[in-house]
């Protein structure tokens, strides 16, 4: 619970441009450059990576999910069935909000810097 | 109540025993402006005799799903259609309220078409609306090519059948990050215009995949702009709204508008908020699966302004 609060707080801070605090907290909980999709959630919900990093999503649910940039900032995944992966490389710094188009209440953020 | 009806007849019970992994159904009865849901069985069959017409609803066949609790949703969909074919009164048409497939793949759509051709009811008139699983990656192009009504570019449509006005809405396209189901301004404008010439006495039946009320927004079970659609429907004396998506029966009455969600023919999902996520109920054992699946029948009695809804579980 407190972890989720920290993440939410970090996200707010990051959006406001105060990226220092976000970096420390997110890296403590995340497997580097890897986002697990489980129980209809992107874990971690916010991932911070350096410019040029490859990020991999893995679907651990029985339901299919997609990874689609909310602002069309990176190429969308196909439908990810159970166990499927999607990899994309982030070449430019920025805050990339994405969601699952099948279950749009599932959202996540990749911060590239 | 459903269980009570499910176990009423030996004939049906024996029939169900023959169908391993079978799904089940719903009979919808419209009476006095209120839609009543019944489990299909002998009593539903007897009630159907005074109906001017009836139709059956199947939903969420999820062809292509292959995990627990149902590794073979094609078999349960086939069983559900057999159940429709076995109804004592032949329904005028079948309604599939979306998630025909699990992954929107052409081979999965082809399987659905093939299974429909195996069934007497499926070979007849079948109306479809897409679920979010049918529009992944191509905004529904493959779905609309095979199953679309082509009245409008957006895919929505309406028709009149024996005095009842039917409206098929699409609420699974152009979904927004963080949002729910979505109808959009263009579709809402069309709906308003479509309903405008109808008298308030006309029974209206609306169907769409995602629930048209805020059933459980935390799991995406609702439609962002459904309130606008409901504002056009409120003046009618009898409005029934049929949805799929949540793989279980939930009902709500709001004035003259009655909402019904349907069972899946593939696998059940948890009750709202029961568990961490709305995924398949994996703990359901093979011998219990059938009791969670179903078909719905709807019948209309001439001279009465309500539809009757009956649910039939597969076991």
Q: Is residue A53 part of a domain?
A: yes
**Residue range B67-80: mean pLDDT, rounded:** 94
Assigned domain for A63 exists: yes
Nearest chain A alpha carbon to B139: A101
- The domain tally of chain B equals 1
- Whether the per-residue pLDDT at B43 is higher than 70: the answer is no
Check CB contact under 8 Å for B67 and A82.
Answer: yes
- Residue B149 belongs to some domain of the structure: yes
Q: Is residue A11 assigned to a domain?
A: no
Closest partner residue to B104 (CB to CB) among A70, A79, A82 is: A79
Interface probe with A: pick from B62, B134, B136, most Cβ of A within 10 Å: B136
Query: Does A73 lie at the interface with B, CB-CB under 8 angstroms?
Result: no
Q: What is the pLDDT along chain A (113 residues), one digit of tens a residue?
A: 444 444 444 344 333 333 343 444 444 444 579 999 999 999 999 999 999 999 999 999 999 999 999 999 999 999 999 999 999 999 999 999 999 999 999 999 999 99
Name the average pLDDT for chain B.
Answer: 84
CATH number of the domain to which B52 belongs:
3.60.21.10
Is A107 in the B-facing interface, judged by CB distances under 8 Å? yes
pLDDT of residue B303: 60
Residue A87 has what pLDDT? 97
Quick check: A62 contacting B, CB < 8 Å? Answer: yes
**pLDDT value for B144:** 98
- Residue B308: pLDDT band (50, 70, 90) is confident
CB-based burial label for B228 (10 Å; 0-12, 13-18, 19+): middle
User: What residue in A sits closest to B68 (Cα-Cα)?
Assistant: A62
pLDDT band at B313 (very low <50, low <70, confident <90, very high): confident
State how far residue A113 is from chain B, nearest Cα, in angstroms. 23
Of A22-26, B15-19, B65-69, B249-253, the least confident: B15-19
In a domain? residue A85: yes
Q: Is residue A91 part of a domain?
A: yes
Query: Which of B68, B132, B180 lies at the smallest CB-CB distance from A102?
Result: B132
- The pLDDT value recorded for residue B294 is 84
The answer as to whether A14 is a domain residue is no
Inter-chain touch A103–B132, beta carbons under 8 Å:
yes
Number of domains in chain A: 1
Q: Which residues pair with B34 in a beta bridge?
A: B31
Structure confidence by residue, pLDDT tens digits, B156-176:
999 998 888 999 999 999 999
**Whole-number pLDDT of residue A111:** 98
Residues A104, B220: C-beta atoms closer than 8 Å: yes
In a domain, A27, yes or no: no
Q: Per-residue DSSP letters for chain A?
A: -HHHHHHHHHHHHHHHT-HHHHHHHHHHHSPTTEEEEETTEEESSEEEE-TTEEEEEEE-SSS-B--EETTS-SPPP--B-TT-EEEEEE-S-EEEEEE-SSSTT-EEEEEE-
Per-residue confidence (pLDDT) for residue B307, from 0 to 100: 76
Cross-chain residue pair A66–B68, CB shorter than 8 Å: no
Q: Which of A88-97, B215-224, B279-288 has the lowest mean pLDDT?
A: B279-288
| CATH code, domain with A97 | 2.60.40.420
Confidence of residue B310 (pLDDT cuts 50, 70, 90): confident
Domain that holds residue A91: 32-112
Q: Mark yes or no for CB contact A79/B136 under 8 Å.
A: yes
Q: Which of B221, B246, B277, B283 to mutate to test the interface with A (most CBs of A within 10 A)?
A: B277
Which pLDDT does position A15 carry in this prediction?
39
Q: Which residues contact B226 (CB under 8 A, 6 or more apart)?
A: B171, B181, B183, B212, B213
A window 28-47, beta carbon within 8 A of B: 39-41
Report if residue A92 sits inside a domain. Answer: yes
Boundaries of domain holding B12: 2-271+286-313
The predicted pLDDT at position B47 comes to: 56
């Amino acid at each position: 619970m407190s972890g989720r609060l920290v993440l939410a707080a970090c996200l707010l801070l990051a959006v406001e441009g105060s990226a220092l605090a976000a970096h420390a907290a997110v890296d403590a909980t995340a497997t580097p450059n890897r986002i697990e999709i489980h129980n209809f959630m992107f874990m971690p919900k916010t991932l911070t990576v350096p410019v040029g990093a490859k990020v991999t999503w893995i679907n651990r649910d029985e339901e299919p999910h997609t990874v689609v940039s909310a602002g069309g900032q990176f190429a969308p995944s196909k439908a990810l069935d159970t166990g499927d992966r999607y990899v994309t490389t982030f070449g430019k710094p920025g805050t990339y909000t994405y969601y699952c188009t099948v279950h749009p209440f599932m959202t996540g953020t990749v911060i590239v810097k | 109540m459903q269980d009570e009806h499910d176990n009423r007849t030996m004939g049906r019970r024996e029939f169900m025993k023959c169908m391993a992994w079978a799904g089940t159904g719903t009979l919808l009865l419209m009476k006095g402006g209120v839609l009543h849901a019944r489990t299909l069985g002998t009593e539903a069959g007897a009630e159907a005799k005074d109906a001017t017409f009836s139709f059956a609803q199947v939903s969420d066949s999820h062809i292509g799903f292959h995990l627990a609790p149902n590794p073979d949703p094609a078999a349960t969909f086939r069983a559900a259609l057999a159940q429709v074919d076995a109804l004592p009164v032949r329904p005028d048409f079948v309604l599939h309220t979306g998630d025909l497939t699990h992954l929107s793949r052409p081979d999965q759509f082809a399987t659905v078409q093939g299974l429909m051709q195996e069934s007497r009811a499926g070979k007849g008139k079948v109306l479809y609306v897409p679920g979010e699983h049918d529009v992944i990656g191509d905004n529904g192009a493959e779905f609309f090519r095979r199953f679309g009504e082509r009245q409008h570019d957006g895919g929505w449509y309406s028709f009149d059948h024996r005095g009842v006005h039917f409206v098929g809405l699409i609420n699974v396209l152009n979904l927004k990050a963080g949002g729910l189901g979505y109808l959009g301004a263009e579709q809402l404008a069309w709906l308003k215009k479509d309903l405008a010439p109808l008298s308030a006495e006309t029974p209206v039946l609306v169907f769409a995949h995602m629930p048209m009320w805020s059933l459980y927004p935390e799991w995406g079970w609702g439609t962002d702009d459904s309130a606008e659609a409901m504002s056009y429907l409120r003046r009618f004396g009898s409005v029934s709204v049929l949805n799929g998506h949540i793989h279980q029966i939930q009902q709500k009455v709001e004035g003259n508008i009655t909402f019904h969600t349907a069972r899946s023919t593939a696998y059940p999902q948890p009750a709202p908020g029961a568990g961490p996520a709305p995924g398949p109920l994996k703990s359901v054992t093979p011998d219990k699966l059938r009791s969670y699946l179903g078909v719905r029948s709807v019948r209309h009695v001439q001279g009465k302004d309500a539809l009757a809804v009956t649910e039939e579980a597969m076991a």
